A and B are shown apart, each in its own frame.
Chain A
Amino acid sequence: GESVGLHLPTLSVQEGDNSIINCAYSNSASDYFIWYKQESGKGPQFIIDIRSNMDKRQGQRVTVLLNKTVKHLSLQIAATQPGDSAVYFCAETETSYDKVIFGPGTSLSVIP
């Protein structure tokens, strides 16, 4: 079936550095993408989203880039902080179809 996958299952970065988490998706019909952050023992928390009519969207310290040509999504976190340590999931859906498909997740560890 359709799936979303992540290139790197784990990522360690030094505090203050920028982090980049990558995601590949397989459904070319997906037109809405979301990044979630999940801290231990908690449910996923929305970070940022992007629609397929955009290739970049910025939030507070986070930027999502979408490359529809190669079906690739990335999450950039600027000046990574210890509180950013968590598992990050990308997710995709077709807005005409409600099932949201999540990737396996990338564990981000910030080294103080």
Chain B
Amino acid sequence: GAGVSQSPSNKVTEKGKDVELRCDPISGHTALYWYRQSLGQGLEFLIYFQGNSAPDKSGLPSDRFSAERTGGSVSTLTIQRTQQEDSAVYLCASSLGLWGTEAFFGQGTRLTVV
């Protein structure tokens, strides 16, 4: 596609439910990043993929968070047993290689846990 696509754009879920967030990177981009942005805050690094492997998972806030990437393309971020503090905008970015090359962000998924 022309850019990084994320779905859904908005998600409202009940506390305790599981959610899956999807990211379609730009075709051919090998690196994919997930960030979380709370209201009025900066970007919090969650995880990144180089191909299908995730060398750095240190940013995942808890074991309720997991992410995978298949075929070197689409990535899903899964949050189990959602809590209200998980409410945020989840942003995905992709780049052709390492972040030394320009990275492009999607529009984000706004998650609201009620």
**A45 CA / B103 CA spacing, docked (Å):** 9
Binds B, one of A56-64, A69-77, A94-102: A94-102
Closest to B41 in A: A104
Q: Is the interface of A mostly helix, strand, loop or mixed?
A: strand
Could you tell me if A98 and B31 are in contact, using CB atoms closer than 8 angstroms? yes
Could you tell me if A98 and B35 are in contact, using CB atoms closer than 8 angstroms? no
Could you tell me if B43 and A44 are in contact, using CB atoms closer than 8 angstroms? yes
* Chain A residue total in the interface (Cβ 8 A): 22
* Chain B residue total in the interface (Cβ 8 A): 27
A99-B59, A102-B35 are known contacts. Are A43 and B91 too (CB-CB below 8 A)? yes
Q: Is the interface of B mostly helix, strand, loop or mixed?
A: strand
Q: Closest CB-CB distance, B77 to chain A, in whole Å?
A: 15
Closest to A93 in B: B99
**A10 CA / B45 CA spacing, docked (Å):** 23
- Give which listed residue, B31, B42, B44, B108, contacts A43 with CB less than 8 A: B108
Q: Mark A40-55, 1 if CB is under 8 A from B, else 0.
A: 0111111001000000
**A100 CA / B55 CA spacing, docked (Å):** 14
Q: Is A25 an interface residue (CB 8 A)?
A: no
Could you tell me if B107 and A100 are in contact, using CB atoms closer than 8 angstroms? no
**A46 CA / B100 CA spacing, docked (Å):** 13
Could you tell me if B45 and A100 are in contact, using CB atoms closer than 8 angstroms? yes
Which one of A36, A102, A103 has the greatest number of beta carbons of chain B within 10 Å?
A102
- Give which listed residue, A42, A89, A102, A104, contacts B107 with CB less than 8 A: A42
- Offer 23 A-B interface pairs, CB within 8 angstroms, sorted by A: A32-B99, A32-B100, A42-B107, A43-B91, A43-B93, A46-B102, A46-B103, A89-B42, A93-B99, A93-B100, A95-B98, A95-B99, A95-B100, A98-B31, A98-B33, A98-B48, A98-B55, A98-B99, A100-B33, A100-B99, A100-B103, A102-B42, A105-B42
Q: 6 shortest A-B CB distances, which residue pairs?
A: A43-B105, A102-B43, A104-B42, A95-B100, A102-B42, A44-B105
Instruction: Identify the B interface with A (CB < 8 A).
Output: 4, 31, 33, 35, 41-45, 48, 50, 55-56, 58-59, 91, 93, 98-100, 102-108
